[in-house]
Structure 1
Amino acid sequence: MDKQVRTKGSNLANPYLAVQLADLTAALVEEDLQCLLMNASSDRKDLTRSLQLLLEYRVRAVVVLSGAPHHSLVRECLDNGVRVILINRAVDSALADIIAFDAEQGGRLAAERLIADGRRRVAVVQSASKTLSKLQRAEAFRARMAEAGVEVVTWAHGGNSYTAGEEAARALLGQGGIDGVFCVTDELGLGFLNTARHALLRRIPEEMSLIAFDDVPQAAWSSHAMTTVRQPVAELNRAVIEALIRETAGDPRPLVRKIPVSLVERGTTLPGRWAPARAP
């Protein structure tokens, strides 16, 4: 059991999390590490119970994909010889490894792309989730739009889901005047896009540009062809392995890594306005 790594995550139906877990577990197997998955909500009490349960096992490290454990729990894990690796999370502690995508960069990229399309009344769809990375994406987007003097309408209701994206489309586009949308996840974006196109008969990108965030496989499907901000999963998981290698070498210093993101342009933004590397 001494070579086990616990991976904690919630909402396993989330397409991005599914890709992330598949890649991470494969990377761990290549390092001759066993991976045990514990599914828990991001609720702090649930996370606390789960981490306390993990201390009963002789695991090597805990990779937390949802929620942010209190610093005392991080300290307790470390005191028991368990390394804590937080993915896209923050904690009031200098003890945990923190690996995160550059959420602010992604929010700015989305804003700049909509500005390039000449959009002047835009919306940001972020659900009611208080996840740090999603909040950072939205805040950076609004800040860049404010610099450009572009009005932003915020929709923040429901969960991070396809259904919430549908609801956002009906609520926002029913008002009229919205010509650009940034959805802080691809799940929201896909719900918004399909509702806007097929239920509300909006022409995208002719009438309205749409950008999402994550670059899940479904975003590239020809039926969607959705412009999105890509989070490079493989690079994130290499950082996880690097943190584990530090632990093997007896290096107690936490790894802090911010991973750049990139804009992947497909068919929901106007062609010829931007020049990133195109995705398949």
Structure 2
Amino acid sequence: MKKRSVTSRDVAALAGVSQSAVSRCFSPRASISDGTREKVLAAAKTLGYRPNSIARSLITRSSRTIAVVMSQLDNPFYAQMLDRASRLFQVKGYHLLLFMVSADGESKGVMGEILQSQVDGILMLSASLSSSFAQECVERSIPVVLINRTVDSDSVSQVASDNYHGGYWVGSFLAAAGHERCAFISGLPSASTNVHRRRGFLDALAAYGLTCWAEERGDYQADMARQATHRLCGGDSRPDAIFAANDHMAIAVIETLRTDFSLRVPQDVSVVGFDDIPLAALPSYRLTTVRQPLEEMVVQAAEQLLWQIAEGRIVAVNQTLPIVPILRESARCPTDVHI
């Protein structure tokens, strides 16, 4: 015969407290005295009680779940971001429900599933949001915050770094160092991060009287960056500098230059990335890059999302955070700059 499940009523009876006290004990941030909490936890341990989160969500009308939408778990930058977000929301008593979207970051295919999951909020990493879905979230009072992406919408909050000026710094840095054949390996063409980094890079080169020597598509993926490097360096001429739109690709570029073409970095070809992932600082790469404020981006996005959930209303806030150039040894420096 199936054993009857232990209920909160059983715990309350053993602990000698009310059933509401048991509920408060297992609810994040609920007010309860230390003495009552100790009695409830001792009784729960004795009976083997585990709170039913589904039943609680029906009562409170809150699942205490955040949907996270992303497409690039293989990119260390987003793996770091997911890890930090998970820890932050866990402290606040929320669980993350992960949804993976297509490689181009298009999230249309999973939006129905997200809405059916009854989440309290949506955090989007490396994913794009359609205006129609953004409006549907507003109508359902589900707050949405984008990290490291921007969209033309006044109904979702967005937290991103200053991608344009990051790209501008790269172009200025390489041009000032005397490079004349600067190439660009792009990310996803439609991604706002790529659009802004590319525009900044081209504008800086133009300010020095240069144009982009060649441009290849890398889609933020290491394998595509390797192929792009072969296209750039496989002919009679090659670039003297390569700006890859993220570190994940830049590291693949360095490996390909050394292994497949026996070229030295930076003596033969300078390489610059974007993000400043942990691998970038390793002695094997010593990658010159643009650091995004990952920690601050996640904290700001989480605070915006939690505030909107608590307030029960959507107030879109757009934040652009400053980038920090990181000088290492993968790129030749202007004569007046020393690492």
TM-score (norm 2): 0.75
Relative distance call for 1:8 and 1:177 in structure 2 (3 A) is: closer
- How many angstroms apart in 2 are the aligned matches of 1:71 and 1:165? 31
Instruction: Give the partner amino acid of 2:303.
Output: E
1:268 pairs with 330, 334, 338, which one?
Answer: 330
* 1:213 aligned counterpart, secondary structure: coil
**What is the letter of the counterpart of residue 267 of structure 1?**
E
Q: Residue 87 of structure 1 corresponds to which residue in structure 2?
A: 147
Q: Give the corresponding residue for 2:319.
A: 257
Deviation, structure 1 residue 274: 6.5
Q: Residue 4 of structure 1 aligns to which amino acid in structure 2?
A: T
1:128–1:18 Cα change, 3 Å: closer
Q: Give the drift of 1:154.
A: 3.2
- Residue 40 of structure 1 and its aligned partner are, at CA, apart by 1.5
Per-residue deviation at 1:249? 3.4
Q: 1:72 to 1:224 in 2, by over 3 A?
A: same
CA RMSD of aligned residues (A): 2.2
1:223 aligns to what SS in structure 2?
coil
Query: In structure 1, the residue corresponding to 2:284 is in which secondary structure?
Result: coil
Give the deviation of 1:13 after TM superposition.
1.4
Aligned letter for 1:231?
Q
Counterpart of 1:121 in structure 2 is: 181
Corresponding residue to 2:304 among 243, 249, 253: 243
Task: Quote how far apart the aligned CAs of 1:160 are.
Answer: 2.4
Q: Tell me which of 48, 52, 62 is aligned to 2:122.
A: 62
Equivalence for 2:210: 150
- Equivalent position of 2:159 in the other structure: 99
Q: Distance in 1 between matches of 2:116 and 2:245?
A: 37
From 102, 127, 135, give the equivalent of 2:195.
Answer: 135
- Give the conservation status (yes or no) of the 8 Å contact 2:181–2:239: yes
Secondary structure of residue in 1 paired with 2:213: strand
Give the counterpart letter for 2:314 in structure 1: P
Letter in 2 for 1:104: Y
Question: For the structure 1 residues 61 and 264, does the alpha-carbon distance in structure 2 shift closer, same or farther, using more than 3 Å as the test?
Answer: same
State how far apart, in whole Å, the 1-side matches of 2:68 and 2:336 are: 38
Instruction: Identify the match of residue 25 of structure 1 among 86, 95, 98.
Output: 86
In structure 1, C-alpha distance between the alignment counterparts of 2:228 and 2:102, rounded to whole Å? 24
Q: 2:100 is matched with which residue: 39, 62, 69?
A: 39
Alignment of 1:227-238 (within 5 A): 227-238=288-299
Distance in 1, matches of 2:82 and 2:214, equals 31
Contact 2:169 2:204 in 1 (8 A): no
Percent identity at matched positions? 25
Distance 1:225 1:59 in 2: 41
Q: Does 1:12 align with 2:73?
A: yes
Report Cα offsets for 1:62-111 as digits up to 9, x if no partner: 01123322222112112212101112333332110111111101101111
Change in CA separation of 1:245 and 1:268 when aligned onto 2, cut-off 3 Å: same
Unaligned 5+ runs, structure 1: none
- Provide the TM-score with structure 1 as the length reference: 0.90
The structure in which a higher percent of residues are strand is 1
Residue identity opposite 1:142 in structure 2:
L
Aligned residues: 276
Q: Give how far 1:42 is off.
A: 5.6
- Structure 2's unaligned 5+ residue stretches are 1-56
- TM-superposed CA distance for 1:226, in Å, is 0.9
2:280 matched to 1:214?
Answer: no
Q: Which amino acid aligns with 1:112?
A: S
Q: SS of the residue aligned with 1:240?
A: helix
Deviates more, 1:167-176 or 1:214-223: 167-176
- Match of 2:319, as an amino acid? R
- The structure that is helix-richer by fraction is 2
Over 3 Å counting, the alpha-carbon distance change for 1:186 and 1:6 in structure 2 is: same
What is the rounded CA distance, in whole Å, between the counterparts of 2:180 and 2:218 in structure 1?
A: 26
State the structure with more CA Rg. Answer: 2
Secondary structure at the aligned position of 1:181 is classed as strand
Higher deviation after alignment, 59-68 or 46-55: 46-55
